[in-house]
Amino acid sequence: MNQAVAAFLGRHNFPVHQDINSVVDALLYDMDAGLSGRPAGQDMIRTFCNPPEKNAAGESVIVIDAGGTNFRSCLVTFDSLGKPSIEFMEKTKMPGIERELSRTEFFNQFAENLEHLKDKSENIGFCFSYPMTITEDGDGVLIGFSKEIKAPEVVGCHIGAELSQALARHGWTKKVHISLLNDTVAALLAGAAGPAAGMRYSSYVGFILGTGMNGAYIQPEDPAYNELKKQIIVCESGKFKDVVCSDFDVSYDKKSVKPGTSIMEKHCSGAYLGPLSYEVVRTAASEGLFSSAFCASLLELTALTQIEMDSFLHSPYSTASVLGAKAAECATPEDYERLFELLDAVVERTARMAAAILASCVIKSGAGTSACAPVCLLCDGTSFYKTYKVRSRVEGYLEDVLVKQRNLYFEIVEKDNDITLGAAIGGLIGR
């Protein structure tokens, strides 16, 4: 790394190459605390469910995927062999993004978004990608919103029960069975649904790195945790807080809608990478890290999105991005190098944090000890697959931390429509 960049990041307490094992150890300690009922950053939410042993042949399920910025809904039908088909797919904005909503307004907007699926099935798989306490009947009690959703009256509500009432108000005649699940549980269930021919996995992990960030794994029965049977556990990894916070993290956190919350998510997920990078770039420009002309140009920026910072990393000499256009006007070769290394450091930290979460889930599962039966890591999210070198770096770090150091084996898996498929399977659990 350029010495001036290294000095700048060090001065602002930004870890250039975060030690992954130290984060893994901290995560494992926190996971154990959460499962034991001690105070923890992660919620370690029990789901009371496991991947089903039989396929869903002959069933139809209404699927809702509500999280991040989008609200998606469709009907999933499984044929006689259990092969799924998707119909009536619609996408709109997630309620509560544009303005604050009351509880009634929030769920009425949900019901309006589902009008095209009215009475098409009695089963609803509801992927609600926010921290919830799952109840044994499959409902979920909202712990709190992340991703800047504004609907405070919904916190503490039974989401399934409230939605059922809203659907009845909007003329639904069938009594619906609603199963709440997190997007990471949906990803995990999708990974467990029909592995490739001839493949066998010892366990499954669901991981999301998109607008937000979270992980889920299958916790084996363990006498250390009283009355905890084998089941999927949602970690709410984005809420983990025992990480090094740079000056940039502290500065952005103070400006966010909910300061002091979702600390790791603010370090790594798509909703925050752009604003965080803006803090880095603006601070660097204000401290004269670049040539005077380029500093002045960068200080004209009022915001930076994840798409813009990622576009520069993928094509630094393209003028199609805001940063590339500014650089083409007045940046020196050293300016290009320094700006690239600053943004790459932000992305590098994301990859290391993601690897730490995945590694801790694999370790906690107790599986993956055989090379021919690895742990299936179903990973989802545009930030994981499209952000500059994130997936390749995560895979490389896991090879080191899990395979070389611990003799634990894994395979990263990607599936089309994974959250939709997993939510449909979840909609049939516990009927």
Structure tokens at 77: 């039908």
Contacts within 8 Å (CB) and 24+ apart, 311-315: 312/339, 312/340, 312/343, 313/340, 313/343, 313/344, 313/347, 313/388, 314/388
CA 103 to chain CA centroid, nearest Å: 25
- pLDDT computed for residue 70 by the predictor: 84
Query: Letter for the amino acid at 254?
Result: K
Alpha-carbon span 87 to 43, nearest angstrom = 35
426 vs 418: CA distance, rounded Å:
12
Residue 27, token pair as written in the block: 């995560």
What average pLDDT values come out for the chain (431 residues) when binned by 10 residues? 95 94 98 96 92 85 86 93 91 88 94 95 91 89 80 93 95 93 93 84 96 94 90 94 96 91 93 96 98 98 97 98 97 98 98 98 98 97 96 98 98 94 89 57
**CA atoms within 13 A of residue 182's CA, in its CB half-sphere:** 36
What span, in angstroms and rounded, lies between the C-alpha atoms of 180 and 234?
Answer: 12
Amino acid identity at 405: Q
pLDDT at 431: 57
pLDDT at 194: 73
For 401, residues 6+ apart whose C-beta sits below 8 A from its C-beta are 20, 21, 24, 355, 356, 359
What is the b/e burial string over 164-190, where b = at least 16 CB atoms within 10 angstroms of the residue's CB?
Answer: bebbeeeebeeebbbbbbbbbbbbbbb
Give the contacts of 127 (CB within 8 A, at least 6 positions apart): 63, 64, 65, 66, 67, 181, 182, 183, 185, 186, 419, 422, 423, 426
Closest listed residue to residue 85, CA positions, set 75, 73, 72: 75
Per-residue model confidence (pLDDT) at position 386: 96
For residue 350, CA distances in Å to 16, 206, 266, 343 come to 11, 17, 10, 11
Nearest to 215 by CA among 351, 355, 357, 349: 357
Pair of tokens at residue 224? 């250390």
Distance of alpha carbon 301 from alpha carbon 297, whole angstroms: 8
Phi, psi for 332 (deg, rounded to 5): -85, 165
Query: Quick one: pLDDT at residue 55?
Result: 78
Counts of helices then strands in the chain (DSSP H, E): 16, 13
Cβ 76 vs Cβ 117: under 8 Å: no
